[in-house]
Chains A and B, each alone.
Chain A
Amino acid sequence: MTAGNKVGFGVSAASMTATWIWASSMYASATSGYTYGISGPIHYGLWGALMILFIYPFGRRIRKVAPKAHTLAEVMRARHGKSSQLMLAGSNVVGSVISLTSNFIAGGALVALLSPFSFQQGIVAVAAGVLLYTLWSGFRASVLTDFAQVVAMLGAVVVIIPVVFFAAGGPSMFEAGAANLTAEQSNFFSSEAFLNQGAPYIAAVLAYAIGNQTIAQRLFAVREDLIKKTFVTATVGYGATVIGIGMLGVMALYLGVNPVDNDVNNLIPQMATTYLTPILLGVFFIMILGSLSSTADSDLSALSSIMMADVYGQNIAKRGKAKPKTMLLIGRLSMVVATGAGLYFASGQLNILDLLVFVGALWGALVFPVLASFYWNKVTNKAFTVSVLAALAAFIPVRFAWFSMDGATGYIFDAVSVVGIGVVLGLMAFGFFGLKPALFIGAAGAVAAAPFVMGFLHDYEVLTGSLVAYAVSTVVCYLMSVRSTTEFDFDTIQQRIGDFDTRTPAETIAAAKS
Chain B
Amino acid sequence: MATFWLTVYVLVWPVIVAGVLLQIVRAFFRDWIQSRKEGRSII
- Is A157 on the interface with B (CB-CB < 8 A)? yes
B13: which of A38, A147, A157 is its contact (CB, 8 Å)?
A157
User: Contact at A9–B27, with CB atoms within 8 Å?
Assistant: yes
Q: List 16 A-B contacts (CB under 8 A).
A: A9-B31, A10-B26, A14-B24, A38-B6, A38-B9, A147-B24, A150-B24, A158-B17, A159-B14, A161-B14, A165-B7, A236-B16, A237-B20, A240-B16, A243-B13, A251-B10
Identify which of B6, B17, B34, B43 contacts A244 (C-beta below 8 A): B17
Per a CB cutoff under 8 Å, which of B3, B13, B32, B35 touches A240? B13
Flag if A162 contacts B43 (CB, 8 Å).
no
Distance in angstroms between the alpha carbons of A172 and B6 in the assembled complex: 11
Q: Which of A1-60 contact B (CB under 8 A)?
A: 3, 7-11, 13-14, 17, 38
- Bound together, the chains give a CA A228 to CA B16 distance in angstroms of 19
| Whole-angstrom CA separation of A237 from B42 in the bound complex | 22
Which range contains the number of A residues in contact with the other chain? 35 or more
Kindly name the residue among A7, A158, A162, A165 whose own CB sees the greatest number of chain B CB atoms within 10 A: A158
Binary interface encoding of chain A residues 128-163 relative to chain B, with 1 for a CB under 8 A from any of its CBs, else 0: 000000000000100110010011001101110110
Q: Which B residues are closer than 8 A to A by beta carbons?
A: 1, 3-4, 6-7, 9-11, 13-14, 16-18, 20-21, 23-32, 34-35, 42-43
- B4 to A: closest C-beta gap in Å: 7
Q: Dominant SS at the A interface? A: helix
Contact A17 B24 (CB under 8 A): yes
Bound complex: CA A420 to CA B3 (Å): 39
Whether the Cβ atoms of B10 and A10 lie closer than 8 Å is: no
Cβ contacts under 8 Å, A143 to chain B: 43
How many Å from the CB of B6 to the closest CB on chain A? 5
Contact B7 A171 (CB under 8 A): yes
Bound-state CA distance A251–B13 (Å) is: 14
Partner of B17, one of A140, A147, A186, A241: A241
CB atoms of B13 and A244 under 8 A apart: yes
A500 on the B face (CB < 8 A): no
> Of B20, B28, B29, which is within 8 A of A154 by CB?
B20
Contacts A161-B11, A161-B14, A240-B13 known; A151 to B25 CB distance under 8 Å?
A: yes
Report whether A171 and B4 are in contact in the complex, using a CB–CB cutoff of 8 Å. yes
> Which residues from B are CB-within-8-Å of A188?
1
Complexed CA–CA distance, A154 and B31 (Å): 20
Residues A157 and B3 in contact, CB atoms below 8 Å apart = no
**A10–B29 CB distance below 8 A:** yes
The complex places the Cα of A9 from the Cα of B4 at a distance, in Å, of 37
Closest residue of chain A to B20 (Cβ to Cβ) is: A237
Task: Tell yes or no: A347 within 8 A of B by CB.
Answer: no
Complexed CA–CA distance, A253 and B13 (Å): 19
**A151 with B21: in contact, given A11-B43, A158-B14, A240-B13 (CB under 8 Å)?**
yes
**Chain B: minimal CB distance from A54 (Å):** 19
User: For the complex, what is the distance from the CA of A175 to the CA of B7, rounded to whole Å?
Assistant: 11
Decide: A171 near B3, CB < 8 A? Known: A3-B43, A11-B43: yes
* Chain B residues within 8 Å of A8, by CB: 27, 30-31, 34-35, 42
Contacts A151-B25, A244-B17: A174 and B43 contacting too (C-beta < 8 A)? no
Q: Tell me which residues across on chain B come within 8 A of A154, comparing CB atoms.
A: 17-18, 20-21, 24
Q: Are B17 and A157 in contact (CB under 8 A)?
A: yes
The list of the 6 closest CB pairs from A to B, nearest first, reads A244-B13, A10-B28, A10-B27, A240-B16, A8-B31, A237-B20
Contact digits for A168-192, partner B, Cβ 8 Å, 1 yes 0 no: 0011101100000000001010000
Per the bound structure, the CA–CA distance linking A243 and B39 in Å amounts to: 40
Q: What A residues does B13 contact at CB under 8 A?
A: 157, 161, 240-241, 243-244, 247
